[in-house]
A and B are shown apart, each in its own frame.
Chain A
Amino acid sequence: DVKVTQSSRYLVKRTGEKVFLECVQDMDHENMFWYRQDPGLGLRLIYFSYDVKMKEKGDIPEGYSVSREKKERFSLILESASTNQTSMYLCASSREGLRSETQYFGPGTRLLVL
């Protein structure tokens, strides 16, 4: 069965802290994605990666960076957390290739920045 796991379900951090969100998939997928979800705004793509060490900016990359050192793991980094980064963060993965490939999602990390 397909599985995407995220390191934390809930996280509380202080303004200015460096925050790491980890995502691991066990499906040998090439593509991995980080989204943030806010009420009334749906899902917005922050960054995605189509191979190890490869990344591309999504629609809202400001204030975030990512790292993909191994195929199964994709990390989202908030260099200096701010209160406007309080949100639900969702990781997803998919096979490469066809535009019709399904994205598989993790359970999400709810981040509160105080």
Chain B
Amino acid sequence: AQSVTQLGSHVSVSEGALVLLRCNYSSSVPPYLFWYVQYPNQGLQLLLKYTTGATLVKGINGFEAEFKKSETSFHLTKPSAHMSDAAEYFCAVSDSGGNNRLAFGKGNQVVVIP
């Protein structure tokens, strides 16, 4: 079965500093990978996704992620954190079947320190 590991449930970052959230996956088939963001009291919103092709994927709000097959990783970065980036971030990998099931990681709660 497909699975995702996100380490560090809470991540603190200073305003203006690099945001780095790590995601490692396990998949028996070529993976499709997703990062979602959840702002307080809201549902999840897609940040970006990797399907095929270019391994560096750019998303909304200045975020990007790089797919590294050799490392089974899909880490999320943003060069300069903003207060509005405070949210919970989830990495997900698609199921091997054709029904769009996703396996989610446990999430990273990002706190931005002024």
Binding site for B on A (CB under 8 A): 4, 9, 31, 33, 40-45, 48, 50, 56, 58, 90, 92, 94-108
Contacts and interface: CB of A to CB of B under 8 A. Distances in A.
B94 interface: yes
Given A42-B90, A90-B44, A31 B100 contact: yes
21 contacts: A9-B41, A40-B106, A42-B6, A42-B104, A42-B105, A43-B90, A44-B104, A45-B102, A56-B99, A90-B43, A96-B98, A98-B51, A99-B97, A100-B49, A100-B51, A103-B44, A104-B46, A105-B36, A107-B41, A107-B43, A108-B43
B42 A99 contact: no
A58 B96 CA distance: 14
Nearest to A90: B43
B106 A42 contact: yes
A99 B43 CA distance: 21
A107 B106 contact: no
A40 B9 contact: yes
A94 B36 CA distance: 15
A96 B36 CA distance: 20
A41 B106 contact: yes
A96 B6 CA distance: 27
A100 B94 contact: yes
Given A48-B99, A102-B49, A42 B107 contact: yes
